[in-house]
Chain A
Amino acid sequence: MVRLNLVLLLVLAACALGLVTSQHQARRFFGELEQEQERSRQLGVEYGQLQLEASTWAVHARVERIASRQLHMRVPEAKRLQIARPQEAAK
């Protein structure tokens, strides 16, 4: 009887220790998960900011300004335009 009780006590102690360890592990993994989720949010934010930056650089007013002032581009005069029509080209 005493022996059985001792065995049960040992089993109980082992279970208790196991519980503590797994709880600890669960918390640790949860912390990691949180960190990764935070990272994914951060990346999402960065994506949004990059999108914003891209469209700020690509604003038409800016593109037009650079094209005309820095690159000296302009719309060709109408008399220098030649309109190509697909059906005419096929003939």
Chain B
Amino acid sequence: MNFAASPVLELTLPVWRSRFLLYVFVAGFALLIGRAVYLQGLNNDFLQAKGESRYSRVMEIPANRGRILDRNGEALAISTPVKSIWAIPGEAQPSRRQLARLASLLEVPQGEIEKRLADTGRDFVFVKRQISPETAERVAGLHIPGIFESREYRRYYPSGDVTAHVLGFTGADDVGQEGVELAFQDRLAGKPGSRRVIKDRLGQTVEDVESIKAAQDGNDLTLALDARIQNLAFSQLKAAVVQNRAKAGGVVVLDVDTGELLALANFPTYNPNNRSKLAGAQLRNRAMTDTFEPGSTLKPFTIALALEAGRVRPESVIQTAPGTLSIGGATIRDAHVERSLTVAQVIQKSSNVGAAKIALGLSPESMWEMFRDVGFGSAPGLGFPGEATGKVRPYRSWKPIEQATMSYGHGIAVSLVQLARAYSVFARDGELVPLSLVRVDTPPVGRRVMAPKTALAVRAMLEMAVNRDGTAPRAQIMGYRVAGKTGTAHKEENGAYAPDKYVSSFIGFAPASHPRLVVAVMIDEPSAGRYYGGTVAAPVFAQIMAGALRTLDVAPDAPMQPIELPPEGQEVKESV
């Protein structure tokens, strides 16, 4: 049989049909090529990104926040990593059992985790932040794909509540929120870097593609603070506040030569490592941000001004009988009535009448200038967040009675740091020193505000206040000559002075022959019966000063004789 001659094959199809099909195929092919060229050559960003998101990840390189050290290199704040659990929502598909385990390990409700993992539009989502490394290890042990851990930083403060107010604290991202942590944020903060890597199916990094940014660790910060003196100041202050059932208290210790802040303590305080139950009162850095009417601690400045102006000499006699002075309907009183006092005794016995009489011989403008010169009414310039400037009203608005009361520290508001700094003028023979929170290696240059002769004369008067016949015999320290002044002021409440609320203070420096340290102590509302600066604040001063001088190996400048206290009940009472 001849198949080739089959009649079926005899059929001839029209040529256009095969042509037509050929053209259809060619057109289809061209379309595909065009599309391929378009996707891979011309408009390839989208697919490129999709592809890369399968294998390429940008990883953050963490950077350490710098440590905060005390002047001797002791660590006061250290950041250490904790773990955080995060997920790639598109890739994390835990089984029900895994999810339940994860929820119980992290102590997060299961529904919450599910909700976060459902957000597949995102590449990254935190499941829980800041957990202990042990918990993180157990989470890793669950081997859930798409769930990862990363390091974060948490700041720890080994000395806890002792240094809380100076250091402040950081928030969740290790960013300073208070105190030194905030003031020196730029210096302390590290700059995290990032790099692009290729990851395999198991999430392991297999190749480094590029380094986008190198990580930069934060710088360490060396403070002026001396941890030993800080601890001493804090523990003495705490004991005094508790013993006197006071509302609060503050201590400032300054280095006379360098203006460094060696200690700054406040009570009540808080533990910066556990800030879950924080109240506003605990957070307040009173010594730095609160102002108060200083009371008699301001008298030395009035006297210094009068000496400087040549109005009086230390031995000039001021009539103080009968212990009261009426100016424009108001009466100034002395607690301790004397017929007459020398100018030096006005300081020693803290006579309001004496100070007021001296002040009335001075011009308001010169008093105002003196207050401004020693730093009242302007920020002390430590760079600390929220430093109080205090309040000194313009002299043009002063009435005579106001000028008189201002001479003994009423009608004016200052912070404890300002007061301590102002006393450095007497300790430095008339120079006001700039303060510093960080350690300084070259002593700064002070600004002269009074003649050395005046400062020395006032210093001698301040030494008299700290002996048997002064208002502060309890500020004496065996082996050292101490100079200082007590302050006891009624607290102002709703525009009037509260009769039973006081602020007791003592500011002094030692050794008087060559002052090294200024210590300022303020006790707010002592309510255990005693309220005079000489009985409440002066003993705290003595304890802190004695300990600090010993710590710094300062040579004694007085014979080692037991200190003399006046007989019980015969102490010179300060005028309030």
Chain A interface (Cβ within 8 Å of chain B)?
26-27, 30-31, 34, 41, 45, 48-49, 51-52, 54-56, 58-61, 64, 75, 78-79, 81, 83, 85
Q: B385 in the interface, Cβ–Cβ < 8 Å?
A: no
Contact B208 A30 (CB under 8 A): yes
Known: A31-B206, A49-B80, A78-B562. A61 touches B74 (CB 8 A): no
Whether A48 lies near B80 (C-beta < 8 A) is yes
| Bound CA span A51–B562, Å | 43
Q: List 16 A-B contacts (CB under 8 A).
A: A30-B206, A31-B205, A48-B78, A48-B79, A52-B156, A55-B76, A59-B159, A59-B231, A60-B159, A60-B162, A60-B227, A60-B231, A60-B232, A75-B550, A79-B560, A81-B560
- Given A78-B560, A78-B562: A59 touches B160 (CB 8 Å cut-off): yes
B interface SS class: mixed
- In the bound complex, what is the Cα–Cα distance between A52 and B76 (angstroms)? 9
**Are A83 and B74 in touch, CB under 8 angstroms?**
no
Interface membership of B81, Cβ < 8 A:
yes
* Chain A residue nearest to B69 in the complex (CB): A55
Which residues of B does A touch, CB under 8 Å? 64, 67, 74-76, 78-81, 151, 156, 158-160, 162, 204-208, 227-228, 231-232, 235, 478-479, 550, 555-556, 560, 562
A1 to B102, CA, bound (A): 67
The list of the 6 closest CB pairs from A to B, nearest first, reads A60-B231, A55-B158, A78-B478, A55-B75, A56-B158, A48-B80
A61 / chain B contacts, CB cutoff of 8 Å: 159, 162, 231, 235
Complexed CA–CA distance, A78 and B64 (Å): 47
Contact of A51 among B75, B160, B207, B208 (CB under 8 A): B75
Q: How many Å lie between the Cα of A27 and that of B151 in the bound state?
A: 24
When distances are taken between beta carbons in the complex, the residues of chain B under 8 Å from A49 are 80
Given known pairs A58-B74, A60-B231, the reply for A85 and B555 (CB within 8 Å) is: yes
- State A31–B160 Cα separation when bound (angstroms): 41
Known A-B contacts A52-B75, A52-B156, A55-B74; the reply to A30 vs B231 at CB < 8 A is no
Which of A26, A34, A55, A79 is within 8 Å of B78, CB to CB?
Answer: A55
Partner of B560, one of A31, A55, A56, A83: A83
Instruction: Check B78 against A81 for contact (C-beta < 8 Å).
Output: no
Q: Which of B78, B208, B231 contacts A52 (CB under 8 A)?
A: B78
Asked if A27 meets B206 with Cβ closer than 8 Å, knowing A51-B78, A52-B75, A83-B556, the reply is yes
Instruction: With both chains docked as a complex, state the minimum distance between the C-beta of A77 and any C-beta of chain B, in angstroms.
Output: 9
- Determine the distance from Cα of A1 to Cα of B206 in the docked complex, in whole angstroms: 43
Measured between beta carbons, the chain B residues less than 8 angstroms from A41 are: 151
Taking A48-B79, A81-B479 as contacts, is the C-beta distance between A34 and B235 under 8 angstroms? no
CB contacts (< 8 Å) of B235 on chain A: these are: 61, 64
Report A62 CB to chain B, min CB distance, Å.
Answer: 10
Q: A53 → chain B, closest Cβ, in Å?
A: 9
Contacts of A59 in B (CB 8 A): 158-160, 162, 231
**Nearest CB of A to B297, in Å:** 27
Question: What CA separation (Å) do A64 and B236 show in the bound complex?
Answer: 13
Bound Cα distance A85, B555 (Å): 8
Contacts of B74 in A (CB 8 A): 55, 58
CB distance from A21 to the nearest CB of B (A): 16
CA distance A27 to B204 in the complex (A): 11
- B562 in complex: contacting residue of A27, A54, A60, A79, CB < 8 Å: A79
**In the complex, are the beta carbons of B158 and A30 less than 8 A apart?**
no
Q: Report the separation of the CA atoms of residues A57 and B162 in the bound assembly, to the nearest whole angstrom.
A: 15
Extra 20 A-B pairs, beta carbons < 8 Å, given A41-B151, A78-B479: A26-B207, A45-B80, A48-B64, A48-B79, A48-B81, A49-B80, A51-B78, A52-B75, A52-B80, A55-B159, A56-B158, A59-B231, A60-B159, A60-B232, A61-B231, A64-B235, A78-B478, A78-B560, A81-B479, A83-B555
With a CB–CB cut-off of 8 A, which chain A residues contact B67? 51
Docked CA distance A50–B231 (Å):
22
> For B79, what are the chain A residues with a Cβ–Cβ distance below 8 Å?
48
Contacts of A75 in B (CB 8 A): 550
User: Taking the nearest CB of chain A, how far is it from the CB of B151, in angstroms?
Assistant: 8
Residues of B within 8 A of A60 (CB): 159, 162, 227-228, 231-232
Q: Is the CB of B158 within 8 A of A52?
A: yes
CA–CA, A16 to B564, complex, Å? Answer: 98
- Complex Cα–Cα for A41 and B81 (A): 10
Which residues in B have their C-beta under 8 angstroms from that of A79? 560, 562
Question: What A residues does B75 contact at CB under 8 A?
Answer: 51-52, 54-55
Question: From B75, which residue of chain A is reached at the shortest CB distance?
Answer: A55
Contacts of B76 in A (CB 8 A): 55
> Chain A's nearest CB lies how many Å from the CB of B160?
7
CB-based contact B231/A64 at 8 Å: yes
User: Which chain A residues lie closer than 8 Å to B204 at the CB level?
Assistant: 31
The residue of chain A having its C-beta at the shortest distance from the C-beta of B228 within the complex is A60
> Within the assembled complex, what's the spacing in Å between the Cα atoms of A54 and B76?
11
Residues of B within 8 A of A78 (CB): 478-479, 560, 562
Chain B residues whose C-beta falls within 8 Å of the C-beta of A56 in the assembled complex: 158
Per the bound structure, the CA–CA distance linking A56 and B80 in Å amounts to: 14
Contacts of B479 in A (CB 8 A): 78, 81, 83
CA of A26 to CA of B74, assembled, Å: 44
Q: A52-B158, A85-B555 are in contact. Are A27 and B227 (CB under 8 A)?
A: no
Q: Which of B74, B80, B208, B227 has the most CB of A within 10 A?
A: B80
Distance between B494 CB and nearest chain A CB, rounded to angstroms: 39
State how many angstroms separate the Cβ of A8 from the closest Cβ of chain B.
29
Choose one: A26, A45, A58; the contact of B81 (CB below 8 Å): A45
Q: How far is the CA of A32 from the CA of B556 in the complex (A)?
A: 63
Considering only CB atoms, which chain B residue lies closest to A80 in the complex? B560
Cα distance A52–B153 when bound, in Å? 13
CA distance A55 to B74 in the complex (A): 7
Chain B contacts for A85, CB-based, 8 A: 555
**Residue numbers in B under 8 Å from A55 (CB-CB):** 74-76, 78, 158-159
Q: How far, in angstroms, from A64 to B205 measured CA to CA in the complex?
A: 50
List, in ascending order, chain A residues with CB within 8 A of B159's CB: 55, 59-61
Expressed in whole angstroms, the minimum distance between the Cβ of B66 and any Cβ of chain A is 12
